[in-house]
Structure 1
Amino acid sequence: MIKLINALQAWRTPEFENILKHEIQNLDAELLPLQAGLSQSSYVSDAAISVVILSVTETSDLIRAKTGIFYAGIIAGSCCADDPTPVCEQTEYCEVQFDIDKRTAETKVFLLQDQ
């Protein structure tokens, strides 16, 4: 379960977006739907991700952040005819929504398919 505690504590402050970005970028990438968001490669690389906050809205129960995530995908073994094992990284992008519960900071994560 993802808990974005620092982002929740920073809600309605000028630092909110920076704290949210930092917290997302420091999550284990396996907790994010990056593999499902691949469009040009086969596997998610271990490289760092970069987060852009696209919009933030609020309901009575949650904070909803729509983000763009840039990350690297790899196509293993397809970059050179002479060497079947090189790893070529491709830049990938997907949009991910984070729904942060205002009481618990428990966060649900959704890949947004219509980008």
Structure 2
Amino acid sequence: MSDRDEPEDEAPFVAACGQRVYLRSGGHTHTPALSVEVWDDRPPADGGVWEAQGEAGVDVPSGQVGVWTYGGPCEDAIERGEAGRRWHVRACVSGRERVRELAEQGVPVHAERYLLQFWPV
């Protein structure tokens, strides 16, 4: 865990700082689709077609996790419910190339899709 508010500039697709999970989006000014799964143990790899995947550990002292792209926060925090835990998260994304193109012409909705899978450490 870092004391920084944001990951380093060269951070990978998914990184965690504090109670936040950061995702490097393929575009800007758009609304991605986000699915969240919570598992009791490490889940099997999802069989979907993903452009990028990554994992990170995140401390959750309040019981809530914020999801941010490197441009800013998503609307709502994810309620983990159990304060003071450390969680591992796997993030998968599709639509990165498509949203990069569409964001140059407008504000696309759900062109980029994320799956976040959490499990306790």
TM-score by length of 2: 0.29
Tell me the TM-score normalized by structure 1: 0.30
Rg larger in 1 or in 2? Answer: 1
